[in-house]
Every structure is written in structure tokens, then in C-alpha cells.
Amino acid sequence: MKVYFTGAGPGDPELITVKGLKILQKADILIYAGSLVSPEILKECPKDAKIYDSASMNLKEVSAIYQKMKDKKGIIVRLHTGDPSVYGAIQEQMDLLTMWKIPFEVIPGVSSFQASSATLQQQLTLPGVSQTVILSRISGRTKTPQLEDLALLARSQSTMVLFLSVDQAKSVEEKLLPQYGTDTPVAVVYRASWPDEKILRGTLGNLASLVEKSGITRQALIFVGNVLDSEYEKSKLYDAAFTHGFREASQ
């Protein structure tokens, strides 16, 4: 038995990778995050596959399936939302599989922050504006390390993408305001790539009120930074006057 930790993508079933789709179509057992993965993706599983919804399961219950199938032939697909490397909680599972000598592989997926930037039609790094993207979250039940407090991360004024934080929009606003300022543009993307996708736009100074009026409390990302509405320098990559390894300057 081999386990494949597979990124299902952000919601749109067509955004799973080709490799992820191929392994899903061979699954003997599927364990998927039912609260976040589109049910349309499940149609790609073999009809005789055993399917478990992990939304109501804990780590012990999930890992018991791995142990039970350890010496049998076949494929277990552990389907996580987005890309499993970002808040995917797969490390604890991989560590157990390593200890039990059960082979596994990770198949990456499209993250919700990538789907959101596509929805916003926005590049997250722009010359002269920002060359850094910070993926983080406000401290909650899972505490962030002290040196990763949002107020400290804000000092760089980089493009910031916040997961798992929309329900604390007021605290996000208060922590970021001293460094970014009230007029810094923000966007909130709810369920990027799903049919009920929604976009909110405003400034950091009205982030909390924007979110409160929308009623959004989960499954949304907060984007903060001047890349959302700022003049920028043109890329050197396609500048006719710029020489690089594959092209000489033409003027």
C-alpha cells in the first residue's frame, strides 16, 4: 500500500493537477477533506473505491486506516484542499507513515492564494512596489510564534496574504495599520474558484467594517498591499533595452 497526499486545488474541480487526477482515478481508498473539497472531484474515483470524509475524523482515526492497510496492495489517496504544504496538517501524518515504514508521496496542488490572485487578476509581486509575498495568519487557537506576529511582519510592507484570519478582521486591521496605513488597498476573496466566489475590495482602514457587512466568517483570504492598486515599473524581463542570458538588448 502506498499513500499519496494530493492537493485537490482550491475548489474548481478542473484545477486539480493532471498528476493528481491520474492518481485519484486509481484510488482504492480515498480520504478527503469533505468540508473543503468539491464533491465533483469525487466522481473521478473508481466506483468501487472506499471513501472516507475526514471532516468528522481525528488523526488517530485517519492513521488507523493507514495501519490497517499497511500490508495490503493498492493506493490510498489523502486528498487535501489547495496545496497540502500550506496549512495542510500533513507533516504529522507523514511522520507516522515514516515511523511505520509505509511508503508515501506528495502531489502538490493549486493553493487558494494562487486561485485568489487569479480571481483578482492581480500579480502579487510588482517591480518598484513589492518583491515579497508573506503567507501568514493571525494568532488563534493555533498560536503563531512571537516573532511572526502580524505587527512585526508588517514592517516590511510586503504583499501580505492571510489565511484563517477573516473572522478576526478587526484584529488584523489593528495590527497592520501602524505600518501599512489606512489607505493601503485590501481585498478579501471568499471561496476562490467556487461557484459562490465573492470579492470584497477596500482599504485597510475599513477592512473590519467591510468584512462585517459581508457576513463572511470563514473560507476567505485577506490580501493587503500596494500591489492591489499602485503604479509600478515595467519588468526588465521584456524590456528591449535589457540584456539577459537569452537575448541581447535591441536598443
- At residue 63, the pLDDT reads 96
Q: Give the pLDDT confidence of 126-163 residue by residue, as tens digits.
A: 999 999 999 999 988 888 999 999 999 999 999 999 99
**Which among 68, 65, 60 has a CA at the least distance from the CA of 30?**
65
Distance CA 218, CA 221 (A): 9
Distance CA 204, CA 201 (A): 10
Yes or no: is domain 112-228 CATH 3.30.950.10? yes
Helix, strand, or coil here: 179?
Answer: helix
Domain range annotation of the chain: 2-107, 112-228
DSSP for 230-244 reads ---PPPGGG-TT--B
Distance CA 185, CA 132 (A): 16
Fold: same for 2-107 and 112-228: no
Q: Give the pLDDT confidence of 220-248 residue by residue, as tens digits.
A: 999 999 999 988 888 766 655 565 666 56
Q: Give the pLDDT confidence of 16-42 residue by residue, as tens digits.
A: 999 999 999 999 999 999 889 999 999
**For the purposes of burial, counting CB atoms within 10 Å of the CB of 21, is it exposed (0-12), middle (13-18) or buried (19 or more)?**
middle
Distance CA 41, CA 213 (A): 32
Q: Give the pLDDT confidence of 197-206 residue by residue, as tens digits.
A: 999 999 999 9
Q: What is the CATH number of domain 2-107?
A: 3.40.1010.10
Torsion of CA 196, 202, 203, 204, to 10 degrees: -30
Residue 69 C-alpha cell reads as 492497510
93-113 burial: b if 16+ Cβ within 10 Å, else e: bbebbeeeebebebbbbbbbb
Distance CA 190, CA 200 (A): 8
